[in-house]
A and B are shown apart, each in its own frame.
Chain A
């Protein structure tokens, strides 16, 4: 009897969140999935059950190119945020001795987040542009004759913006894992004769694995679903999968956009399933 009451009250407790998620996540996803099977023409969408949207999507060369681009951005952003994020977290966790200093430096890492990500991206433009600071600087120093074109509206600019935007999402979980590493484990490794390289390979990396994976999940999902960065930093000439969806929406081709969204959602879920297999998320929370 006691157990029953307890069960009922725990259901009540989870009800508000369930309602919120149902209304604002599950229901819209359901609608998108339904619409992805509808037909459309230039000015209206027509309830139906056809596979044309998916067929067009999966056979179009544009889609595949956009997926290649998306994965390329995601991989580069992941690799660079991982390298930078791991280094920063390692520095904070193992080289800064006092808690106060750790907190202070950690807060400094969050400074980019004091403004919106659009503003942050736009502020790169005067720096990277054809007549921007870097190009004019290089030219007046005599290092280059003509402006470097790859700096802005390019893959370079897009990945740069991702790294700028998302490195902190890597730093936080890795730092969290590293702070849990018992310092005496490192001494034990030193006692066994380990060099710094061995300590990194045998102790620090294996024990920050869950932080690395959680950070990777953040960065992957954020980059896979992003279109603003690609639009602004790619100057409209680069496309990833989300920009395709965005374009279809602006052309009122809602069923095609919905089909694109469903495929993208499954792709991301597939990646997440793989990543979640590598980490016990409950242990980390």
Chain B
């Protein structure tokens, strides 16, 4: 038996408009998967199809070797945490958490006991009798998480769970989500539009655009080798350049464009010699931004393409960091990531 979640050629269309276009995805049991993409890319729809809140137009959804495509949400072994948490405003926290057990027919004493244990797990036991509107965003989120976990799902689905929190809390909750996931050994599928969040959390990151998967894999492999100009642009930290930028395009093997990581570019004076296995290109500095560990140096090539360079704070020659100055950008040939049209 294959454990985990599998989408087989799954599509969704609304009145002929395609939202998700035949995606294939395998998520191993116990892994943390992030669906990443700009808004309208179909990532939320995909999640809602897995949850059973959105009908599948065609294709199948398989959970632990069981085809759940047409099952009701509760029958699938999934639990969803909603974007705005969707806590019942008229119920106390403990009743919110216990709701799934109430529906399952547990008596009040038993379900309250289990709900209290779950509240304990998310460190919210002392808020059991509070109403959701008396809690902060982060606290509401813990309650929502406890409510999702109470029915012992195999797969927890999180729809942009951190987007309503302030940046500081977001990083803290991100850690807690990851810790809870590895502690409980559950499969988490997490929708986000923040590549930072996805990279920090995911064992498997799935970049989506226009209803199709652009690239999937470990965040590190995606960052090191983005599969398309879109992915390189979207995850950031990369420059997408045309093939004719290079004087000698032979390392590209005929690709029309390539990407180069911003932190792999170094700055040198115009008269510096090019190292072996490196390329050099002339550029004009537009702007230098101090970003603590890095300087962000924005430059423009002769043909107008902009190149962003992240230079470690201690490696930027101060006599080069002057706007309007012409310098030489260089990077190793090995760092060139060509995009071959499929």
B-binding residues in A (CB < 8 A): 182, 184-185, 187-195, 198, 202-203, 206-207
Contacts and interface: CB of A to CB of B under 8 A. Distances in A.
Nearest to A194: B103
A251 B52 CA distance: 70
Interface of B: 51, 53, 72-74, 79-80, 82-84, 86-90, 99-100, 102-104, 147-148, 151
A206 B90 contact: yes
A184 B90 contact: no
A185 B83 CA distance: 11
Given A185-B88, A193-B73, 19 more contacts: A185-B89, A187-B53, A188-B80, A190-B72, A191-B51, A191-B53, A191-B148, A192-B103, A192-B147, A192-B151, A193-B74, A193-B100, A193-B103, A194-B103, A195-B103, A198-B103, A202-B88, A202-B99, A206-B90
A207 B90 contact: yes
A36 to B, nearest CB: 44
A189 B53 contact: no
Contact of B88 (A188, A190, A195): A188
A190 B87 CA distance: 13
Nearest to B104: A193
A189 B99 contact: yes
A187 B86 CA distance: 9
Contacts of B147: 188, 192
7 contacts: A185-B86, A188-B87, A191-B74, A192-B74, A192-B100, A193-B72, A193-B74
Contacts of B86: 182, 184-185, 187-188
Contacts of A194: 99, 103
B103 A191 contact: no
B73 A191 contact: yes
B256 to A, nearest CB: 44
Nearest to B54: A187
A26 B90 CA distance: 38
Contacts of B74: 190-193
